[in-house]
Amino acid sequence: AQTVTQSQPEMSVQEAETVTLSCTYDTSESDYYLFWYKQPPSRQMILVIRQEAYKQQNATENRFSVNFQKAAKSFSLKISDSQLGDAAMYFCAYRSVQGGSEKLVFGKGTKLTVNP
Amino acid sequence: GAGVSQSPSNKVTEKGKDVELRCDPISGHTALYWYRQSLGQGLEFLIYFQGNSAPDKSGLPSDRFSAERTGGSVSTLTIQRTQQEDSAVYLCASSTYRGRETQYFGPGTRLLVL
């Protein structure tokens, strides 16, 4: 079974600085998807960024980018120019593309605090 | 357009009572998922619907939990004879198609069993 590990329960960053959240995963599959979701206190899970495993190029969405290392099974999220609104729980998630396995497998999350 | 909606937003119930949680997916989304978020277990998959059928029920923790989906749209998660360990946030998500599409989440229902 696939597992996702986020080794940093909490992180903090100064406003306008850069922070990197770590995620590793375990799978025997060659094709899959990886996601970062953000969950503010409102509870709404918001997609931040996604990466297809077959793509070598790292995904980027504005201030958010990933460092996808397939061989190392590592998928870190970099947030540049951090803003107060970035404060939230961040979850890394894995999704198989094999038939019948539709679920997301989540890590335990990293709580990000942004200091003014 | 409108996102995934869930009701109620919060639910307090007494141990032993039955509860129903509702999810309205994004219009046109054929796939629907239920997850549970609790302090001890993190985010856990419960069940997946494709249309009205449920090909994957592997995450339902006991036979007290059931879910149905009618008309390929609204889904109801029912918990019978609630226990205190059922207290959690229940999240619903939907996507356009299985396998390769992003899941979009609703705001969740916070269930507290006293």
Question: What pLDDT does B54 receive?
Answer: 83
Contact: B56, A99; criterion CB under 8 Å: no
CB B60 within 8 A of CB B86: no
Q: Which residue has the higher pLDDT, B1 or A84?
A: A84
* Percent of chain B predicted with pLDDT > 90: 72
Give me chain A's average pLDDT, please.
Answer: 93
Statement: residue A97 has pLDDT above 90:
no
CA B61, CA B113: separation in Å to the nearest integer?
16
Contact B45 A100 (CB under 8 A): no
Mean pLDDT, to the nearest integer, of A76-88? 97
pLDDT digits (tens, 9 = 90+) for B53-93: 887 888 999 999 999 998 889 999 999 999 999 999 999 99
**What was the pLDDT predicted at A101?**
61
pLDDT at position B98, please? Answer: 59
| Buried/exposed A78-91: b ≥16 CB within 10 Å, e otherwise | bbeebeeebbbbbb
Asked whether the predicted pLDDT for residue B37 surpasses 90, the reply is yes
pLDDT of residue B40: 72
Percent of all residues in chain A with a pLDDT value above 90, rounded to a whole number? 78
Q: Between chains, do B108 and A44 touch, taking CB under 8 Å as contact?
A: yes
Q: In the predicted model, what is the mean pLDDT of residues B29-42?
A: 89
Q: Residue B17: what pLDDT? A: 98
pLDDT of residue A5 exceeding 70 = yes
What is the chain A residue with the closest CA to B90?
A: A43
Q: Which of B33, B42, B48 sits opposite A108 (nearest CB)?
A: B42
The widest CA-to-CA distance across chain A, in whole angstroms, is 46
**pLDDT of amino acid A43:** 87
pLDDT for residue B1 is more than 60: no
Average pLDDT for chain B: 92
pLDDT at A99: 64
Q: Judge whether residue B107 has pLDDT over 80.
A: yes
Tokens (6 digits) for A29: 């599959």
Residue from B4, B11, B43 to probe the interface with A (highest A Cβ count within 10 Å): B43
| Residue A92: both structure tokens together | 């890394």
pLDDT in tens, A30-80: 888 999 999 998 888 999 999 999 888 999 999 999 999 999 999 999 999
**B-chain residues near A106 (CB < 8 A):** 42-43
* pLDDT, position A100: 66
Q: Cβ of B110 and A43 within 8 Å? A: yes
CB pairs under 8 A between A and B: 55
Q: How far is B74 from chain A (nearest CA, A)?
A: 19
Which residues in B86-113 are b (16+ Cβ under 10 Å) and which e? bbbbbbbbbbeebbebebbbbbbbbbeb
Which helix (H) or strand (E) is B59 found in, with range?
none
Which of B105, B111, B112 to mutate against chain A (most A CBs within 10 Å)? B105
Alpha helices in chain B (DSSP H): none
Separation of CA B3 from chain center? 15
A42 contacts B42? CB cut-off 8 A? no
Average pLDDT of span A84-101: 87
